[in-house]
A = this chain, B = another copy of it.
Amino acid sequence: MNNILVAQSGGPTSAINGTLSGVIRAGIESERVDKVYGACYGIQGVLEEKFVDLTQIMQGEEEWSTEDKLDLLRRTPAAALGSCRFKLNDIQEDDSQYERIIEIFRKKEICYFVYIGGNDSMDTVYKLSEYCKAKGIKDITVVGAPKTIDNDLCGIDHCPGFGSAAKYIATVFAELEREAEVYESPNVIIVELMGRHAGWLTAAAALAEKKEGRIPYLIYLEEHPFDMKHFLHDVQMALQNHSAVMVAVSEGVHDESGRFICETDAPKQQDVFGHSMLAGTGRILEEKVRNVIGCKVRSIELNLLQRCAAHMMSKTDIEESERLGYQAAEMALRGAGGQMSSLSRTTDDPYRVVYESVPISQVANLEKKVPLEWITAGGNGVTEDMITYLKPLIQGEISSVYKDGVPQYMYLK
């Protein structure tokens, strides 16, 4: 038997099941594959032999067809197979995990392994491929399929999952902008976005800003040093001509010396047990605006919502995610190990991409930050180049399938 195994790793997104759906489809379609297995909880689940038979789940005799199930899967948020944050040991120091993985692959007759994840997960693909190479194992191919809402993967124009998160963020900003304009008195709404190491998600707020241009936006990415005095000045200036101001801020903004704002400027807080509680960046900016400027201000942390809002997916993102999964499986089938399924953009308008593969070594453990030239001189906005880059990624919608008024999902474990 020639079986294919797929697993998901790292932080979930609302598109990672689209990629999974693509891998499963390729496996089911290929005559060279007998079974499609899924490992629950990533590489950790592989080591613990937590497998599900995806061919059976997808082709089982139920009211739903295989096509319906694959379709429902791509509309399901978070990792349907479960995920892990697990780093394989250094091969030089201890290769017992690798031996164990290959042993399990042999037992389950797995020849192809597709691992869907971000830069940490690509480290697993890299190490496992290198191990196979070093051991002369030629009948097992390990490939990566990309995902991360953070958009910080190298070797790809943009990451599957990012477009949907960006569309959700832009939509939330458009809605909150309506809220900000409801009352006549000055009003600042601050939204804290995910991204400790890259400001891509925060930049997505600009997509709402550019839509109507009714009220000023202040956008602070973690790539630019954050200065509290400049921030307060920016808000004061914006309030001179408008009663409402929207602020988007990366959770990871830090000062010139690299210290996170949420660490340096946090009020000293202790809970009843004397443990310290760290206030978020948005909350700290909120308090500053309230105390220094004295106007109405509210901070909102989008938290997990920005990575699991499957009810607001970008069609472009989901279709690309699925295709990248499909292609990763194809790469595995043709023995292109140690590679990640990727895409590069040929034109912005009309938006066109070509699908390709990149060596995993160009992706694993690396981070792609926002280019500094895409941030405005004052450090409080993004340029038109950023908008040109972002806009195609949020185009199109995918509606949920509802049951009793609530979205319905696919369950695999």
A→B interface (CB under 8 Å): 12, 14, 41, 44-45, 76-80, 82-85, 167, 170-172, 174-176, 178-179, 181-184, 189, 207-208, 211-212, 214, 265, 267-273, 275, 277, 279, 283, 287, 291, 298, 300-301, 303-305, 307-312, 314, 391, 394-397, 399-400, 402-409, 411
In the complex, besides A179-B304, A207-B406, A298-B303, 16 extra interface pairs with C-beta distance below 8 angstroms are A12-B178, A44-B184, A45-B184, A77-B175, A175-B311, A176-B305, A207-B405, A208-B406, A267-B272, A267-B277, A268-B270, A269-B270, A305-B305, A391-B405, A396-B405, A397-B402
10 closest A-B pairs by CB: A394-B405, A78-B178, A267-B271, A269-B269, A175-B308, A300-B303, A271-B287, A395-B405, A78-B179, A170-B406
- The interface residues of chain B lying within 8 Å CB-to-CB of A45 are 184
Residues of B within 8 A of A44 (CB): 184
A273 vs B283: C-alpha distance when bound (angstroms):
14
**A172–B407 CB distance below 8 A:** no
Q: Which residues of B contact A183 (CB under 8 A)?
A: 41, 82-85
- What would 12 A/B residue contacts be, using CB atoms closer than 8 Å? A76-B178, A77-B178, A78-B175, A78-B181, A84-B184, A167-B405, A167-B406, A269-B279, A271-B287, A271-B291, A311-B311, A394-B404
Contacts of A411 in B (CB 8 A): 212, 214
Contact assessment for A406 and B211 in the assembled complex, using a CB-CB cutoff below 8 Å: yes
B405 and A170 within 8 A (CB): yes
Contacts of A182 in B (CB 8 A): 12, 78-79, 82-83
Find the B residue at minimum CB distance from A269: B269
With a cutoff of 8 Å between Cβ atoms, the chain B residues found around residue A175 in the complex are 14, 77-78, 305, 308-311, 407
- For A267, give its contact among B214, B269, B405 (CB under 8 Å): B269
Residue numbers in B under 8 Å from A181 (CB-CB): 78, 82
Q: How far is the CB of A302 from chain B (nearest CB, A)?
A: 8
Report whether A298 and B304 are in contact in the complex, using a CB–CB cutoff of 8 Å: yes
- Give, as a whole number of angstroms, the nearest-CB distance from A170 to chain B: 5
A119 to B: closest C-beta gap in Å = 18
- CB–CB A397/B396 < 8 A: no
**Residues of chain B with a CB closer than 8 A to A406's CB:** 167, 170-171, 174, 207-208, 211, 394
Instruction: Determine how close the nearest CB of chain B comes to the CB of A12; give it in whole angstroms.
Output: 5
